[in-house]
Structures are given as C-alpha cells and as structure tokens.
Amino acid sequence: MAEHTLASTSSQRWLDPAAALIGPIAAGAHELWALMAATAFLELTGLVLMGQAFWPQLEGADPRGSWLGGLLLIVLSRLGLGLLLPPLRHSAARRRGLRASAAADGSVRSRAAGAALLLGFVYALSLMRFVLPEPPALLMRFPTDPGIANAVASWIDLAVGGLVDHGRGFFNAITVGLRSALNFVETVFVRTPWPATAVVVLLTAWRLAGLRTTIFAAASLAYMGLLGLWEPSLATLALVAVSVLICVGIGIPAGIATAKSPRLRRLLEPVLDVMQTLPTFVYLIPAVALFSIGKPPGVIATVIFALPSMIRLTDLGIRQVPGNVREAANAFGATPWQLLWKVELPLAMHSIRLGVNQTIMMSLSMVVVAALIGAGGLGEGVMKALQFLKTGQGFIVGFAIVLCAMVLDRLVRGREGGGDRK
C-alpha cells in the first residue's frame, strides 16, 4: 500500500516520492491539514488554468488559461509537498508523542479516504465553475429568494413596532427617569460656577492620584476653558458619569452572579458578545423609536456597548481569587456574604477597577455616535466640524475628548501606577 511505503521510507529520505505522487491526500492522511489546504489550492489553480486552456471556448471570447503555467504550478506544488511532508510529519509525531505511534495503519488509510473524498468534491465543483464557459447557475450564486430577507426584516419591524406601542409606558418611564437623572447631573456639572468645579476636580485629583495628575488635570481644564469648550465638556462628562454609574450598578452584581454560576455565564456569554460587536448604528434606530431622541437613548446605547466589559472584568476578577485563600476563609467559618465582602471583592478590586476604567473609555468613545441622535456635548462639535469640513475645529474638540479620557483614566487608576501602597 502507498501508506505503507510512506511510513517506511519517509523517515530516511529528504524527498517523499509517494507523497509527491498522490499529492494533498498524503498530507491529509497524516493530519497535516494546513499543508493539505495549501497544496490543494495551488494544484486546483493549476488544474483550472489547464482546463481553461483546453476546454472549447465561446465564439469570439478572449483565450483563457495557460496549460504550461498550470502544469508548472501542479508540478511545483507536488514537489513542495514531497519535500515538506517528511520533516513536518516528524515534528508533528514528536508533538503528539505516544498518540502518533499508537495510530494504526487503518486510521491513516481512513483519513486518506476522507481526504480524497473532500478533495474530489471541492475539485469537481471548482473545475465546473471556472472551466465551463457557462457553468450551472446553482454554482454561481447561493440559491435564495429576496423575499426571505424582506420577511425577516418586516417581522423585526413588527416586533419593535409592537414593543413601541405596548411598552410605551415602560419605556417612557425609563426615558423620563434617565432624563431627570441626566438633567440633575448636568446641572450640577455645568451650572456650578466654573472656579468651584475646577477646585473640586483638582482636589479630587490631588487626593486620588497625586501631584502629577493634578497638574495634568489643571492643564486640561485650562484647555477646555480657553477654547470655549467648558460647557460641552462638562455636559459630555455628565453623560459619561450617568452611563458609567448604570454600568457599574448593573455590571458588578451581574459579574458576581456569573462568577458564581457557570451556567448563567454560559447563558449570558452570547448576549454579551452581541452587545459588544453589534454595530451601534443598528440599535440606534430602535433606540430612538423606544426612547425618543436626545440624551436618554444616547445613554442606553452607551450602556449596551460598555456594560459587557464591566461584567466580564468583574467575573474574571472574582474567579481569579486563589482557591487556597477562599478555602482559608471557609476554614475560619466565613458565611457566603463574608466570603464575598471580605475576601473575593477586595481581591477582585484590581480587575473591577480596570472594568470601570474600560467602561469610562468606551463611554467616551460613544460620545460622537450619541451626538447623532442629539445627545449634545463635545460629540456635537465633532459632528458639526465633519458636516462643514472644518479640520481645525474638529481637532480642537477631538482633543478635548482625549483629555477628558486621560484625566478620568488617571483618576480611576489612582496611585496604583505610582508604586504607593494601595
């Protein structure tokens, strides 16, 4: 058998003639899938080129393919396979250790058969598609009906419409609640006389993060004030503050819950993936329908985007608490609450703080998107600069957003980076 000669000769020779002869199937037989895919791709390209050269063409069409180029490609890929297979097999066998030596002749043979079947399928269809002058329509395009997409879309429209109609009271309540919270925070941030705000910010920076950050915060405040961005900056910070508070308020308990329950984590995982990766503009449309325009839907969109990080980092922090410390707490009679408050949360604090930081950064990155639906603040400045193509104005406002992010980052991290005791 071919496999047999392979096995006996490949270890000594630098070129495996049997492999060169049977091609990608040999690679498949030895579980070298990447090698099989690469050589099969080259070989198939060569076959298509040759096929196009030989196949009768339509009247008046340009000549296609090149049998010489195709042949060269096939020969080269076979030669490469023959050269690469012995060393790759060797290192793969060493990596697998015992398992490889236990692999019987039979499994090599059945893998070879599987590889042959797979390659035959791909080769046949691909050759039909590229060589035939008029390939069957089924191969040209995935068979579907535009009606399917339309039906699904209108079904989603209907569902959201139903939600808007029937949940009006519920969503209005959320909108009103969010709006009044935002108004309150914004009033505090924006209407407070600017020297008072500045003193509070600088004192906080001094307490939390030391002199260097205080100087940096002072410079940032000066930048915002001098360039006329004081009010929009603080309006943006109000939006960020409310979003982050909501994220922390939901995210930390949810993260604790997923850390304690693997089942809940498995259930929530895909939901969090969707929240993080679904393009924001997709859910901005229904958000406006449900929460009208302005700041509330901006907060909702921001929370959807930033909440998963908070949940994930809290979950990670709690699960990273060393088992022996948890056991020690149990050995001294800790109740589940005591375990959480006195051991797990303090030890997860680093990770949780990272989560808060992430949430702030993600909220700030949503500022411009939120401005699209009328959330105002610095994002509005960026939008206007974009509309009227004002490069300088755009940079001025954009830089204010960067400074907000950096100051908040240093404040939340506190002295952690500075080497002082926690």
- Supply the minimum distance, in Å, between the C-beta of residue 98 and another protein: 18
- Supply the minimum distance, in Å, between the C-beta of residue 29 and another protein: 32
Spatial CA neighbour of 43 closest among 7, 78, 90 = 78
Examine residue 329 and tell whether it contacts another protein (CB under 8 A).
yes
Residue of the chain from 138, 211, 331, 389 that contacts another protein (CB under 8 A): 331
Examine residue 422 and tell whether it contacts another protein (CB under 8 A).
yes
Q: Total residues contacting another protein (rule CB under 8 A)?
A: 20
Q: 293 vs 325, which CB is nearer to another protein?
A: 325
The two three-digit tokens of residue 190, written as one number: 């924006």
**SS3 state at 337:** helix
d(CA 20, CA 78): 5
d(CA 359, CA 245): 10
**Cα of 181 vs its chain's centroid, Å:** 31
Q: 345 vs 372, which CB is nearer to another protein?
A: 345
Residue of the chain from 204, 330, 365, 393 that contacts another protein (CB under 8 A): 330
In the stretch 276-315, what mask flags binding to another protein with x, by CB under 8 A? Answer: ----------------------------------------
Q: Which residues contact 56 (CB under 8 A, 6 or more apart)?
A: 133
- Which span (30-38, 221-229, 273-281, 343-351) binds another protein, by CB under 8 A? 343-351
**SS3 state at 55:** coil
Examine residue 349 and tell whether it contacts another protein (CB under 8 A).
yes
Examine residue 338 and tell whether it contacts another protein (CB under 8 A).
yes
d(CA 360, CA 166): 34
Q: 162 vs 322, which CB is nearer to another protein?
A: 322
- Which span (146-154, 249-257, 281-289, 336-344) binds another protein, by CB under 8 A? 336-344
Examine residue 325 and tell whether it contacts another protein (CB under 8 A).
yes
d(CA 35, CA 21): 15
The two three-digit tokens of residue 299, written as one number: 């907060």
Examine residue 335 and tell whether it contacts another protein (CB under 8 A).
yes
- Which span (118-126, 187-195, 260-268, 345-353) binds another protein, by CB under 8 A? 345-353
Residue of the chain from 133, 327, 402, 416 that contacts another protein (CB under 8 A): 327
- Supply the minimum distance, in Å, between the C-beta of residue 261 and another protein: 19
The two three-digit tokens of residue 133, written as one number: 């002058």
The two three-digit tokens of residue 309, written as one number: 């990080």
With 0-12 / 13-18 / 19 or more C-beta atoms within 10 angstroms meaning exposed / middle / buried, residue 246 is buried
- Supply the minimum distance, in Å, between the C-beta of residue 346 and another protein: 5
d(CA 333, CA 173): 45
Do 219 and 201 form a contact (C-beta atoms < 8 A)?
no
With 0-12 / 13-18 / 19 or more C-beta atoms within 10 angstroms meaning exposed / middle / buried, residue 143 is exposed
Examine residue 319 and tell whether it contacts another protein (CB under 8 A).
no
In the stretch 402-421, what mask flags binding to another protein with x, by CB under 8 A? Answer: -------------------x
Q: 321 vs 362, which CB is nearer to another protein?
A: 321
Spatial CA neighbour of 175 closest among 276, 288, 279 = 288
Pseudo-torsion of CA 413, 416, 338, 317, nearest 10°?
Answer: 70
Examine residue 334 and tell whether it contacts another protein (CB under 8 A).
yes
- Which span (13-21, 144-152, 332-340, 371-379) binds another protein, by CB under 8 A? 332-340
Residue of the chain from 37, 92, 347, 396 that contacts another protein (CB under 8 A): 347
d(CA 420, CA 417): 8
d(CA 113, CA 119): 10
The two three-digit tokens of residue 378, written as one number: 């610095």
d(CA 7, CA 164): 68
Do 129 and 140 form a contact (C-beta atoms < 8 A)?
yes
Examine residue 262 and tell whether it contacts another protein (CB under 8 A).
no
Site for another protein in 181-200 (CB under 8 A): none
d(CA 372, CA 271): 25
Q: Maximum CA pair distance of the chain?
A: 90
Residue of the chain from 346, 386, 416, 417 that contacts another protein (CB under 8 A): 346
- Which span (40-48, 151-159, 268-276, 324-332) binds another protein, by CB under 8 A? 324-332
- Which span (29-37, 84-92, 181-189, 329-337) binds another protein, by CB under 8 A? 329-337
**Interface ranges with another protein (CB under 8 A):** 322, 324-325, 327-335, 338, 342-343, 346-347, 349, 421-422
